Amino acid sequence: MTQDAAPTQLGYLGMGVSDITAWEKFGTEVLGLESRGRDDDGSLLLRMDDYHHRFIFTEDSALDDLNLLGWEVKDEATLNALAGHLQKEGIEVHEGDEDAKNRRRVVHLIEFTDPNGIPTELYCGPLLSRDRPFQSLRPIGNFVAGEQGFGHLTMSVNSLEESLHFYRDVLGLRLSDWVRPQPDRGVQSDLNLAFLHCNRRHHSLAFWEVEMPKRMHHFMIQVQRLDDVGSTYDLCHDRDISIDLTLGRHTNDGMLSFYMKTPSGFDVEYGWGALEVDEEKWTVQLHTTGSSWGHRHL
């Protein structure tokens, strides 16, 4: 696929969780997101910028894990082109009905499943709420979102080779770099961790072939002010929220961040200062460690 016919951002993330009330409290009071309340089907919607919402939490007491990826494309023509390309690759594609489009607040939508069995959507025409600016319950600044999407997702995959073919060669994401396994951090896979981008954000998606308790390792949200990372770090200590990885800086995207445990057991990376991809100058890189300093297990 050409770059023009690829997704422009990872627009929204869906999770099936056992305690939606805990997630609403955690998302608004700790992460600093804004609640849009419950949808007609009971789902909790959270926002972080002009988009109506970026996160969708549905009740699923058995899952507590990732259950939806939503990739944005620029227009209906691109959506149709990608739908045709997916079908040529043998992937079953369904056009979203009116109910699905209304729930996602988009103009057009197609649905399919990625090689790992993850429900996935491509959409265009997202609803923006610029008449009602984002407002956090916490005294923090804005998030780095907008055209870069909500942030990034790191997950395990059944086959790195198959997922790389799908996301790079079929869907059209671009490879940013690789990080090799780190045995000292409990990563036993012989395969690399692949990082892919679709806009200026260093990576919207990262994955590795490794067995984990959950499909989702973490999702990342990025703040515009360094002090907001620090105040959130303190807040986690004040509220006895478990910190899985201490403050540190990553080697590949330069993000200064820490990782906190969520009500569902996977992590959220809370970060600042990531470098951005200049497509004309970017070359794929290899890193043998994930962090220049910090990011230590407690």
What does DSSP say about strands 267-272 and 285-287: parallel, antiparallel, or unpaired? unpaired
Average pLDDT over residues 180-195: 71
The per-residue pLDDT for 73 is 98
Q: Give the domain ranges of the chain.
A: 3-126, 146-294
Same fold yes or no, 3-126 and 146-294:
yes
The per-residue pLDDT for 187 is 59
The per-residue pLDDT for 138 is 97
Question: Tell me: the pLDDT tens digits for 4-22?
Answer: 789 999 999 999 999 999 9
The architecture of the domain spanning 146-294 is Roll (3.10)
* Residue 3 pLDDT greater than 80, yes or no: no
Q: With the CA atoms of 161, 167, 170 and 176 taken in that order, what torsion angle do they form, in degrees rounded to the nearest 10?
A: -90
Distance CA 241, CA 145 (A): 25
The per-residue pLDDT for 63 is 94
Question: Tell me: the pLDDT tens digits for 237-248?
Answer: 999 999 999 999
* Residue 154 pLDDT greater than 90, yes or no: yes
Distance CA 99, CA 73 (A): 20
Tell me which of 3.40.50.11780, 1.10.287.3510, 3.30.470.20, 3.10.180.10 is the CATH number of domain 3-126: 3.10.180.10
Phi, psi of 235 (to 5 degrees): -60, -40
